[in-house]
Amino acid sequence: MDQSTKHILKREPAIRVNGSLWLESDGKRFFGPGPVELLERIAETGSISEAAKRMKMSYKKAWELVSALNERSVNPLVVPRTGGEHGGGSTITDEARELIDYHRHLRQRFAAFLAEETKNLKL
């Protein structure tokens, strides 16, 4: 922003450019920060319910996310086991790990974009 645009807005704390990013199919988002973190937590804990708990998300919502992700992907991203030892559990596939990795890099580039815009802001 050029000098003339300064001081238009109040700034008790610093003003910054921020935003959100997601993958979109058919105009609706299906792979944003939430699903990514959920996949990571499932990988960590081996359990959808425990992953949900750590994200302070209801199990229902977590399960719906997993279900939606598996439906949209050619091959499953999450493989659930029902019953058995510990009552069951879930693992994520290599493809899920690839998606997580891609999204991590994407977020890094986005963060760099936001930081650059914020740096050049000085409202």
Partner DNA sequence: TATCGTTATATTTTTAAAAATATAACGGGC
Partner DNA sequence: GCCCGTTATATTTTTAAAAATATAACGATA
Cα–Cα distance, 54 to 121 (Å, whole number): 36
Binding mask 29-58 for a copy of itself (x = CB under 8 A): x-x---------------------------
Write the single-letter amino acid at 19. G
Tell me which of 81, 95, 104, 111 binds a copy of itself, using CB under 8 A: 95
Instruction: Select from DNA, a copy of itself, none the partner in contact with residue 16, using the beta carbon and a kind-dependent cut-off of 5 to 8 Å.
Output: a copy of itself
Output b/e per residue, 84-108; b: 16+ Cβ within 10 A.
Answer: eeeeebbebbeebeebbeebeeeee
Backbone region of residue 59 per phi and psi (left: phi > 0; alpha: psi in -120 to 50; beta: other values): alpha
Choose between 76 and 97: whose C-beta lies nearer to DNA.
Answer: 76
Q: Interface residues with a copy of itself (CB under 8 A)? A: 1, 4-5, 7-27, 29, 31, 72-75, 77, 95, 98-99, 102, 106, 109-110, 113, 117, 123
